[in-house]
Amino acid sequence: MAGSPVLPVLGIRNVQSSQLSFLFSRRQTTGQKEDRSNKEQTRARGYEWWRRRRLRNKGVVEFSPERLMEDNVGLPTLFPVSTLGELKPFGLPRQLDKELTSYGPPASVVRYATLGMKHILESGASQSSEEARYLLTGHRGSGKSFLLLQTVCQALVNNWIVLYFPRTGAWIDSTFSYEYNAESQTFHQPSLALHILQTIASVNGSELSKIPSPNKDGTLADFIRKIKKEEHAVKGLEQVMTALASQTQVPVLLAMDDAHTLFATSKYRSPDYEKLRSYHMSTPLLMLDYLTARKTFNRGMVISALSYSDTVFYPSLSLEHGLGLESDRHLDPYDTIDPTHYAHATSGIKKIHLPYGMSTKEAAGMFEIWSRKGIVRRSTDETFMGTFAAAAGNPKEMRRGVHLTIQAYNYSPAGLHE
């Protein structure tokens, strides 16, 4: 095999191409040729299958509530393909999506915080959301979005109705059309409301079929399917949320990432060209009603997460002061606090703070995933402790350090001649 080329793909080195050729073979009929895009998709599926099999053969199990126990803290787990497939209509936060879709199958580590969220989810399955409203806080890169995604996956496996909104910043960044409604004295977002309704029905169809519709004509799933025009979407979304709040057959989880945008000034403008706050927009205001307990689910809970990686909308002073969050920003005499945002922040939302760094047990599990995926070239105790100490255990900084190490090695004489 001396003459066979080496496959330098995604950290898989010293593997001869003939050894993986069976992964990419496809039946060819006479006179038919695949276009380039189809070939690339075939190769991608082959690599994905190979990497997932490689992880499973080395003892990486799938993420499930049954494995969430203290003995398994630090255990590398794969997100189930079926669960992530159900979440596909909702999408993922941009950075989290990039992390999960690069270098192999989506995986995560069981953390102590994961166990805590499991207990919170179990207790919230039979109580009102009035006392079950949470906000995940912590420094940049501490794993808030990952923890929220793990909690959402647990809820899906346990047959909750899941309303997962990973990019709430899109609600106020002028992505969707808006129009003023004199009756509600808010700015409606009909296209956004219709999109949310379609997503809810796509993910929770079977569970929504257990709940009667607001007009008592069929099920809630049938009610949503009948809403096909934007002019009916805003009112329809409010009716659906009211129906979910009043029922007790199925627990409801409202999960929102980038939730700090609900306490921010939007990119929308009024007819007088004044900047609109998030509570002036119909959809953010509706979700704020449940986060601040103006409206509650009879059976369910609300979990949200801050983000310090958003370069457009940073957590506002109103939110930081209302929740008593640590802030490193410099204040000046012209900084103001919005009284409405401050009132929302002081409405009894419970903070769940993630520490800056992981424990050594948790970090070792994450490092093991990177090693098995081929991201870490030399998985030794010295490499792990050096990466862990340099990043103080922060997941994002550890990942960044490993990535920079890979780049440095690839452009070094040893990497270029490997």
The pLDDT, as a whole number, for residue 293 is: 95
Report the b/e string of 259-298 with b at 16+ CB within 10 A.
Answer: bbbbbbbbebeeeeeeebbbbbbbbbbbbbbbbbbebbbe
The pLDDT, as a whole number, for residue 58 is: 57
Distance, in Å, from the CA atom of 147 to the CA atom of 117, rounded to the nearest integer, reads 8
Distance, in Å, from the CA atom of 19 to the CA atom of 172, rounded to the nearest integer, reads 51
Parse the chain into domains and list their residue ranges.
83-354, 357-418
The pLDDT, as a whole number, for residue 13 is: 37
The pLDDT, as a whole number, for residue 406 is: 67
The pLDDT, as a whole number, for residue 417 is: 45
The pLDDT, as a whole number, for residue 57 is: 47
The pLDDT, as a whole number, for residue 6 is: 37
Note down pLDDT in tens along the chain; length 418 residues: 444 333 333 333 333 443 333 333 444 444 444 454 554 555 445 445 445 555 554 567 888 888 899 989 999 998 888 888 888 899 888 888 888 877 778 889 999 999 999 999 998 888 999 999 999 999 988 999 999 999 999 999 999 999 999 999 999 999 999 999 999 999 999 999 999 999 999 999 899 999 999 888 889 999 999 999 999 999 999 999 999 999 999 999 999 999 999 999 999 999 999 999 999 999 999 999 999 999 999 999 999 999 888 778 888 888 988 998 887 777 677 778 899 999 999 999 999 999 999 999 999 999 888 888 777 777 788 888 888 898 898 999 888 888 777 666 555 555 444 5
* Cβ-Cβ contacts under 8 Å for 416 (sequence gap 6 or more): 410
